[in-house]
Amino acid sequence: MNVFLRWIRFNAVGAIGVVVQLSALALLVYYFDFHYILATALAVETAILHNFVWHEKWTWSDVAAGCSSHWLSRLLRFHLTNGFTSLLGNLVLMQSLVGTFRLPVLYANLIAIAACSVINFILSHYWVFQDAEASRALTRCAEQKVKI
C-alpha cells in the first residue's frame, strides 16, 4: 500500500480518535469534574488504544495481519511513540493553551491533537508497523502457517 493511502487511512482513524478523545475529555471534565490535566491524560490514553486497534485492523492491516501474536510488540512501540508524543504534546500544549492563554478546553485540545498528528504518522509508518524486526517476525509467522 502506498504512503498516501496510509496517510489518508491514518487521518480517518485519527478523526474518529479525536471524537473519542474529545468525548472522553468532555465527560471527565464537565460530568465527573476531573482537573483538565488529568482528564487530558486519560482521554489521550483512551484515544491511543482506540487508534492502535484501528491501525492494526485497517491502516496497516497488510503488515499486522501476518502474525497476530506480535500485536503486543506493536502496541508497546505504538505507546512509546504515538502515546508518548500525544500524551506529552497534549499535556504541554494544554497547560500552555488553557493554563496560560485561557483557551476553552476542547478548542485547545483540538489544536494539540493537530500539532501531534504528523509526527505520529511518521513514527507509526517507519517504526511501529514497518521496522525490520517486525518484518522478520511476520515472515517467520507466515512461513510457520505454510508448514502447518
What's the pLDDT tens digit per position in 44-55?
899 999 999 999
Amino acid symbol at 96: S
pLDDT at 132: 46
pLDDT tens for the 148 residues of the chain, in order: 789 999 999 999 999 999 999 999 999 999 999 999 999 999 989 999 999 999 999 998 887 665 566 788 889 999 999 989 988 998 899 999 999 999 999 999 889 988 899 889 999 998 898 754 555 555 566 566 555 5
- CB of 48 closer than 8 Å to CB of 102: no
Which sequence spans correspond to the domains of the chain?
Answer: 3-147
- CB of 36 closer than 8 Å to CB of 94: yes
pLDDT at 40: 92
Exposed / middle / buried, residue 68 (Cβ in 10 Å: 0-12, 13-18, 19+)? exposed
pLDDT at 67: 59
- CB of 25 closer than 8 Å to CB of 82: no
- CA 38/CA 8 separation, integer angstroms: 31
